[in-house]
């Protein structure tokens, strides 16, 4: 079946917007994806027709809401290839899911134990493990990366990074900066060989690729809904049921207990043990709708479209003088492409592109250690998704040419005029 990106775009009303005189070119999907009308309408219908709390009220609305919430859990389980719906825990985002993993697994850590991450991780997969190690006396170690943006597996082997002291390895599946696709199954096998657990940050991988937790070799997998055409406020922790049953609670409150007495409490089995309080009900329903949407498109087709768009983006950026692309040139990589433009700060690049309707992200993308590794303070990142077109990528390259020439002073004969033009551009005014 031919991939009909224009038909897909018709499901996203936001693409009817303009930015000043320019059509909106949204290339910030690694930050958050846009939402199809089907997801918004499904959540609206829940609030307008079925709204009630779950697992508490015995009336009709309560039963309908609970049924929809648990149906969403079943949808997520199918989407990632879980063996049981009890392996799916809803959180408010991927960061909370990673904190849940680090906090509960810390019960297994002590002095002399080691946790392994990588220098390419999002801060959400570094800071929780730093806290866990500080609490327990364990040591945090990490994979370095090569100059072309891959995990430095040879260096890790020479240094014995994963060893008999390793208790947890926690890695991103797909880098949110470099687009690198890490060999998770291979590293998971190394971790399991020494008795360690494998935690996978799938925030960038799950929205773009067919996901089967058994193929990854993961013990825990986290991801978020808002990068998968779903709403904000919903994340997922998938875990092997036998492991979840062994882990202590993350937060205390309603619905995560069996019996509460003043002398002490006993806890509910997973997943309720990890879902204290009123959960993100409408958000879970919206996530399930988003999964239905991308599944109807076909995750294989989404992945193929991402590969095509990313290859086109790399080729177009290579034609822009002064560009340095961070990360690999692999045919199979994620849709995020980070780069620097000689002589122009990424925040200025971002603002100039925005003045021409092109939305990208500038900064360190919650990955400061990785930027330090490559000797840059920050970068600009463009990222595509299932609704992105080659014409939008072309618009990015044209806007970058304009930005480079603007800061090179090619559009004025004096510095003061250049500054005035820049202020007008950033204000969205038309320069004749």
Active-site annotation, residues: 366
Q: Under a CB-based contact definition with an 8 Å cutoff, are residues 130 and 103 in contact?
A: no
Sign of CA dihedral 272, 275, 281, 285: negative
Structure tokens at 291: 């999964």
> Cβ contacts of residue 26 below 8 Å, gap of 6+?
14, 15, 34, 359, 388, 392
DSSP 217-274: T-SEEEEESTTTTS-SS-EEEEE-HHHHHHSPPSS-STTSEEEEETTEEEEPPTTGGG
**What is the chain's Cα-based Rg?**
23
Parallel, antiparallel, or unpaired: how do β-strands 264-267 and 257-261 relate? Answer: antiparallel
> Cβ contacts of residue 343 below 8 Å, gap of 6+?
322, 407, 408
> Cβ contacts of residue 398 below 8 Å, gap of 6+?
none
C-alpha–C-alpha distance, residues 408 and 224, integer Å: 40
The H-or-E segment that residue 188 falls in is helix 184-193
Residue 25 gets the label, from left (phi > 0), alpha (psi -120 to 50) or beta, of beta
C-alpha–C-alpha distance, residues 348 and 378, integer Å: 12
């Amino acid at each position: 079946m031919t991939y009909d990106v224009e038909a897909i775009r018709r499901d996203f009303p936001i693409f009817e917007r303009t930015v000043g005189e320019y059509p909106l070119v949204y290339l910030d999907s690694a930050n958050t994806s846009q939402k199809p009308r089907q997801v918004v309408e499904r959540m609206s219908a829940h609030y307008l027709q079925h709204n009630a709390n779950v697992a508490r009220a015995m009336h009709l609305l309560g039963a309908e809401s609970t049924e929809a919430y648990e149906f969403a859990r079943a949808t997520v389980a199918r989407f990632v290839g879980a063996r049981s719906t009890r392996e799916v825990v809803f959180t408010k985002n991927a960061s909370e899911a990673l904190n849940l993993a680090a906090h509960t697994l810390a019960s297994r850590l002590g002095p002399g134990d080691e946790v392994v991450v990588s220098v390419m991780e999002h801060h959400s997969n570094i800071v929780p493990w730093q806290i866990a190690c500080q609490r327990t006396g364990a040591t945090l170690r990490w994979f370095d990366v090569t100059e072309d943006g891959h995990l430095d597996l040879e260096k890790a082997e020479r240094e014995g990074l994963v060893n008999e002291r390793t208790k947890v390895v926690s890695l991103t599946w797909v880098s949110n900066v470099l687009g690198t696709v890490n060999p998770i199954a291979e590293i998971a096998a190394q971790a399991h060989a020494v008795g360690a657990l494998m935690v996978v940050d799938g925030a960038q991988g799950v929205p773009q690729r067919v996901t089967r937790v058994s193929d990854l070799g993961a013990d825990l997998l986290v991801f978020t809904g808002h990068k998968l055409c779903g709403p904000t406020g919903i994340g997922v922790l998938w875990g092997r049921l036998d492991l979840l049953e062994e882990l202590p609670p993350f937060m205390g409150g309603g619905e995560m207990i069996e019996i509460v007495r003043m002398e002490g409490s006993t806890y509910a089995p997973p997943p309720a043990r990890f879902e204290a309080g009123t959960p993100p009900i409408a958000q879970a329903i919206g996530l399930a709708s988003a999964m239905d949407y991308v599944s109807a498109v076909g995750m294989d087709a989404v992945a193929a479209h991402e590969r095509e768009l990313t290859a086109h983006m790399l080729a177009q950026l290579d034609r822009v003088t002064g560009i340095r692309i961070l990360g690999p040139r692999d045919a199979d990589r994620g849709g995020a492409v980070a780069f620097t433009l000689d002589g122009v700060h990424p925040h200025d690049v971002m603002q100039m592109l925005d003045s021409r309707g092109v939305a990208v992200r500038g900064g360190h993308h919650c990955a400061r250690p990785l930027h330090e590794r490559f000797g840059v303070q920050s970068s600009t990142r463009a990222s595509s998704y299932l609704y992105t077109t080659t014409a939008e990528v072309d618009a990015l390259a044209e806007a970058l040419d304009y930005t480079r020439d603007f800061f090179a002073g090619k559009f004025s004969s004096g510095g003061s005029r250049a500054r005035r033009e820049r202020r007008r551009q950033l204000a969205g005014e038309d320069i004749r």
